[in-house]
Amino acid sequence: MELLDRAVVRSLPAVPRGIVQRLSSPYIAGPALADARRAVAALNAAGKLATVDVLGEEVRVPSEAEAVALEYHAVLDAIAADRLDANVSVKLTALGLEIELDLCRSLLATLVADAAARGIFVRIDMEASPFVDDTLRLYRELREVGRDNVGVVLQSALRRTLADVDALAVLRPNVRLCKGIYVEPPEIAFQKRDEIRESFVRVHEALLEAGCYVAVATHDEWLLERALARVAGRDPSEYELQMLLGVREGRASELVEQGHRLRVYVPYGDRWYEYSLRRLQENPALATMLAKATVLRLVPGRSG
């Protein structure tokens, strides 16, 4: 299977943009905010929650970071105006983390304050390992000044994550737990699937023991079943499950019918091509999974 995954990834740069767009279209709401509004409204109608992400990480100049921040404020306007059951997810490189820490700090603080005034939650996403320390630092700073409408993401693939849980425990953080999609060296991250899975289970247990609200973000059925067993008997308001837009939609609907809170990650923006290639190249298994999902969409009665 790993050979197939690598073969799929190697072929991606040679694939015409039109085909990449067709492949990725089920997983991106569209290029404009109006597309995200429609996608979230449809999810809410199906009993699902949403988190909205503006595509455009790794900006290089301050004006780009400021433009992304303005777009996020527009997202907050839309969520409030449409009374959508949604929050926002933001990558700090999109707010200028690679340009200047203070620029990112200012844009993030203003965004979180605007969201707080509207009663909307902000999820600070986690990126590659060089950004972890600054991401957690900015999260802690917001919590220290009383911002409770903000959460963070931890990746089970990183070897440091259990230590991060211990360090954050006093804050009882609201955490999205995922495997992590970034390619990291062996000294920083687990490389084997079973190691990443075992870490995920340990981190989930540690977060629950610390009294944290945990959003379990995975499409891995093995992990999903273990997470469900771990939260069995808890009130549904004490945890949630998360999936990507367009992935395992049938399973997501089953989980909602069973009474679980399920949130769907809804990215949008005109940088769809860069996003699609980066995500697929960073995670060969995801590339193959999405290719399979696309094929299944062509088979009547198969929705994943």
Catalytic one among 37, 105, 143, 176?
A: 176
280 closest CA partner among 7, 1, 3: 7
What 3-state DSSP class applies to 124? strand
What distance in Å separates the CA atoms of residue 233 and residue 150, rounded to the nearest whole number? 26
Q: H helices within the chain, ranges in order? A: 2-11, 17-24, 33-45, 62-82, 101-118, 132-144, 161-168, 193-209, 221-231, 249-257, 272-282, 284-297
Active site residue 176: yes
Catalytic one among 37, 125, 248, 271?
A: 125
174 closest CA partner among 45, 78, 80, 51: 51
User: How would you label 214-225 residue by residue, b for 16+ Cβ within 10 Å and e otherwise?
Assistant: bbbbbbeeebbe
Q: Which residue has the tokens 């400021």?
A: 66
What distance in Å separates the CA atoms of residue 172 and residue 265, rounded to the nearest whole number? 23
The answer to whether residues 130 and 158 touch, using CB atoms and an 8 Å cutoff, is no
- Full DSSP string of 197-223: HHHHHHHHHHHHHTT-EEEEE---HHH
Structure tokens, 103: 């620029």
What distance in Å separates the CA atoms of residue 239 and residue 255, rounded to the nearest whole number? 13
The answer to whether residues 105 and 138 touch, using CB atoms and an 8 Å cutoff, is yes
Active site residue 302: no
For the annotated catalytic residues, the residue numbers are 125, 176
